[in-house]
Amino acid sequence: MALYTRLTRQQILNLLKPFGFDAPQKIRGVLEGTVNTFYELTYPKKSYFLRVDEVADLKRLKNELRVFDLLERVQKRLSFKTTLPLQTKKGKYYVPLGKKYVLLFEKIHGASYFHHRLMGAHLYRIGRALAELHQSTKNCRLPPHRFNFPGLESVYREILLRLKKRHPTVALDIGQWMSWLKKNEPKGVPSGLIHADLFPENLLFVRDRLEGILDYEAAGFGSCLFDIAVTLHACCHDGKNFSIEKCLRFLRGYQSVRKLTAKEIKSFEYYLYQSAIRFLLTRLRDFELKPGPVKAKPFKDYREYLRRFAEIPPLVKVLKI
């Protein structure tokens, strides 16, 4: 989250009218994050988030709304809450703001745990929750998630000229990895609705209970293994090393609901590499190579994910996957 679009109080009140909302007691711009603008709106009994979609065209936004529709249909099968957009008085889920779109979500209360606060017991619950999502949506009909291989190719092409100019050796290495990924992509692995971006800030806990999972902007149809690999990178690594205990607890939690198939076990290492490329490319695009000032904080160093490639084979060996 970051304040790319600065709105006055009156502009926010005007955007709330189609939803039938009066003026909130408090409006707070949320500074964390990298993609969209969020404002937290506080009312006497509930709080809400107003989201200004900074990157989605209408087609992409409608794909996201299809994800929300599926989440609403399977919500009773899930042990955690999901964020669903509220409707306007005319039955729409967004209002236009110039060429952008604004959505409104009810706030799910809870806290995000980072680094040492995110313990093995929490990872077990995250694993169970992710498996519930996959099990409840297997073979669903949805557009592919944003970071499938064609999506990664699109990001790669977007940054390639700038990358060659600033870091030619890195450009060469990434090009070789992209070729390897394209040539070796597994076929026929179990798929369903995947979150595709399960960072700690998208996980809300109330004490030790996983209360909610947020932010489905990247979600869509894809390999369950990609979701698993993203979560291992995002939640089981402290920036220096993978925590073997956290990885194992997460996988045990996951497999307590849905067992990995033989084909998935064979393909596990591939998706750890693909998800590392996903983080590497988006960090290059959103931070290192971004034209103009970088508003999102903290600055995320792409080099962390260059180092991950060497960490993946020993991780797979220790996990015995």
* pLDDT tens digits, 71-125: 999 999 999 999 899 999 999 999 999 999 999 999 999 999 998 999 999 999 9
Q: Which residue intervals of the chain are DSSP H helices?
A: 9-16, 58-74, 120-136, 149-166, 168-184, 224-235, 244-255, 262-283, 303-319
Which is nearest to 231 in space by CA: 277, 202, 199, 270?
A: 199
Q: What token pair was written down for 218?
A: 């990247």
Q: Rounded to an integer, what distance in angstroms lies between the CA atom of residue 297 and that of residue 53?
A: 18
Judged against a pLDDT cut of 60, whether residue 298 lies above it is answered with: yes
Q: Report residue 1's pLDDT band, with 50, 70 and 90 as the boundaries.
A: very low
Instruction: Provide the mean pLDDT of the chain.
Output: 94
pLDDT digits (tens, 9 = 90+) for 27-79: 999 876 668 899 999 999 999 999 999 987 899 999 999 999 999 999 999 99
Q: Report residue 213's pLDDT band, with 50, 70 and 90 as the boundaries.
A: very high
Q: Report residue 148's pLDDT band, with 50, 70 and 90 as the boundaries.
A: very high
2 and 295 in contact (C-beta within 8 Å)? yes
* pLDDT value for 299: 81
Per cent of the chain over pLDDT 70 is 97
Q: Which residue segments constitute the domains of the chain, with CATH numbers given?
A: 9-106 (3.30.200.20), 115-319 (3.90.1200.10)
Q: Rounded to an integer, what distance in angstroms lies between the CA atom of residue 128 and that of residue 277?
A: 25
* pLDDT value for 32: 67
Instruction: List C-alpha distances in Å: 13 to 27, 42, 93, 99, 273.
Output: 10, 13, 17, 19, 45
Pairing of strands 203-206, 220-223: unpaired
Instruction: List C-alpha distances in Å: 136 to 73, 74, 76, 191, 262.
Output: 10, 7, 10, 11, 20
Q: Would you call 292 helix, strand, or coil by DSSP? A: coil
Q: Would you call 27 helix, strand, or coil by DSSP? A: strand
Judged against a pLDDT cut of 50, whether residue 256 lies above it is answered with: yes
Q: Supply the pTM of this predicted model.
A: 0.94
Q: What token pair was written down for 306?
A: 């260059």
For range 8-26, the mean pLDDT: 97
* pLDDT value for 219: 97
